[in-house]
Structure 1
Amino acid sequence: MNSPHFHFTAETTSNGVVQHDFTMGEVTGALWSPVSGADRAPLVLMGHGGGNHRKSPAMTGRAQLLVAHGGFHVAVIDAPGHGGRPRTAHDEREIATMQKAMAAGEPVGEIVVRYNAHLAERAVPEWLATLDALQELPEIGADGPVGYYGLNMGTAIGVPLTAAEPRITAAVFGLFWYDESLAESARRITVPIEFALQWDDEHIPRPSGLALFDAFASKEKSLHVNSGAHKELPRFEADSAVRFFARHLTVGGPTA
Structure 2
Amino acid sequence: MHFTSQTSSNGVIERTFTLDDITGVLWSPESGPTGAPLILAAHPGGLDKKAPGHVARAHSSVTIDGFHVVSIDAPGHGDRPRNAQDERWIAEFRRARAEGSPSFGRILAAYSASVAERAVPEWQATIDAVMALPEIGAHVPVGYSGMSLAGAIGIPLAAVEPRITAACFGWLSAHDALLAAAKQITIPIEYLLPLDDKEIPRAFGLELFEAFASTDKVLHAFPGGHGQVPTDGRIDTRFFARHLGPPVGRPAA
| Structure 1 CA distance for aligned equivalents of residues 241 and 158 of structure 2 | 18
| Structure 1 CA distance for aligned equivalents of residues 15 and 232 of structure 2 | 26
| Conserved? CA contact 2:171–2:227, under 8 Å | no
Counterpart AA for 1:44: I
RMSD in angstroms over aligned alpha carbons?
A: 1.7
Q: CA deviation at 1:240?
A: 2.4
The aligned residue for residue 3 of structure 1 is none
Between the two proteins, the alignment pairs up a number of residues equal to 247
1:31 aligns with 2:26: yes
Which segment is superposed worse, 190-199 or 226-235?
A: 226-235
Give SS of 1:240's match. coil
Aligned counterpart for 2:184 among listed residues 180, 184, 188: 188
Aligned counterpart for 2:172 among listed residues 158, 162, 176: 176
| Structure 1 CA distance for aligned equivalents of residues 159 and 196 of structure 2 | 29
| Conserved? CA contact 2:15–2:26, under 8 Å | yes
| Structure 2 CA distance for aligned equivalents of residues 223 and 236 of structure 1 | 17
Q: What's the % identity of the aligned pairs?
A: 53
TM-score (norm 1): 0.92
Which segment is superposed worse, 66-75 or 37-46?
A: 37-46
The aligned residue for residue 151 of structure 1 is 147
The aligned residue for residue 114 of structure 1 is 110
The aligned residue for residue 90 of structure 1 is 85
Unaligned runs of 5+ in 1: 1-5
Q: CA deviation at 1:37?
A: 5.2
Residues 206-225 of structure 1: pairs in structure 2 closer than 5 A? 206-225=202-221
The aligned residue for residue 45 of structure 1 is 40
| Structure 2 CA distance for aligned equivalents of residues 172 and 46 of structure 1 | 10
| Structure 1 CA distance for aligned equivalents of residues 8 and 111 of structure 2 | 36
| Conserved? CA contact 1:38–1:139, under 8 Å | no
Give SS of 1:204's match. coil
Q: 1:251 to 1:66 in 2, by over 3 A?
A: closer
Which segment is superposed worse, 99-108 or 207-216?
A: 99-108
Counterpart AA for 2:201: P
Q: CA deviation at 1:63?
A: 0.3
| Conserved? CA contact 1:8–1:21, under 8 Å | yes
Q: 1:181 to 1:138 in 2, by over 3 A?
A: same
Counterpart AA for 1:85: R
Runs of 4+ aligned residues of structure 1 deviating over 4 Å after TM superposition are 236-239
1:128 aligns with 2:153: no
| Structure 2 CA distance for aligned equivalents of residues 157 and 238 of structure 1 | 26
1:73 aligns with 2:62: no
Q: 1:109 to 1:224 in 2, by over 3 A?
A: same
Counterpart AA for 1:155: G
